[in-house]
Amino acid sequence: MQLAVEALSVAGMAAVSYASTNVDNLVILLAYRAKPGYRPFYVGLTFVSVCLLALLVSLALAEAAQALAPDKIRYLGLIPIGFGCYHLLRLARRRAGRDAPGPRQPPGSTGVFAYCGFALVLLANSADSISLMMPILADLKAVFVVACFAGAATMAVLLGGLAHVLARAPGSGPYLEALEKWVLPFLLIGVGILILADTPTDLLIA
């Protein structure tokens, strides 16, 4: 029973963490759904596929991190802290009016290459998700890695469904963008600090 409760706790943590780092991708998803010629089903399928790919990359990098000594794994928390600081710097540049233009849009064609371009935009924007999930996965016992991966994968599918709902509500994009700007940087830094502090000691690798 205790193992099941801990697994559910890990899955919930992974789901919330993964959702928080995909608010920006959710905004991009909503923008692409609104582009003429793009079919909502294929846009959503591309989004979920990229999310799953990002999770697989995180898992692979986490497995590579197993070569590190257990007392050194916590230093992987510096990665989300670094990305959080990067987002804060980008926010400061935006407020100063010096930030670069937004992500480059793919061509207006509805062919395969158009969706591939959309996938590349999402994947390039998923570095924060990978940086967050990798140290979390590396810091868990194998039995909890499955729960963590399942929770994050489930959230990826739910986010695709959420985009379908939000796309029907005009004016929701700016609110999501504001959430991504102000919440994401501090969340990344906070999670990084928790990993550095090695808080989940009962879930550490044996």
Residue 70 pLDDT grade (very low, low, confident, very high; cuts 50, 70, 90): low
pLDDT of residue 69: 61
pLDDT exceeds cutoff 60 at 106: no
CB atoms under 10 Å from CB of 68, counted, come to 14
The number of residues in the chain equals 206
Question: Encoding tokens for residue 146?
Answer: 């499955």
Percent of the chain clearing pLDDT 90 (strictly above): 0
Q: How far apart are CA 184 and CA 74, in angstroms?
A: 21
Q: How far apart are CA 186 and CA 172, in angstroms?
A: 22
State the Cα torsion 103-136-146-54 to the nearest 10°.
Answer: 20
Q: If you average pLDDT over every residue of the chain, what do you get?
A: 75
- The residue to which tokens 């070569």 are assigned: 67
Class of residue 115 by CB neighbours under 10 A (exposed 0-12, middle 13-18, buried 19+): buried
pLDDT exceeds cutoff 50 at 84: yes
pLDDT of residue 205: 40
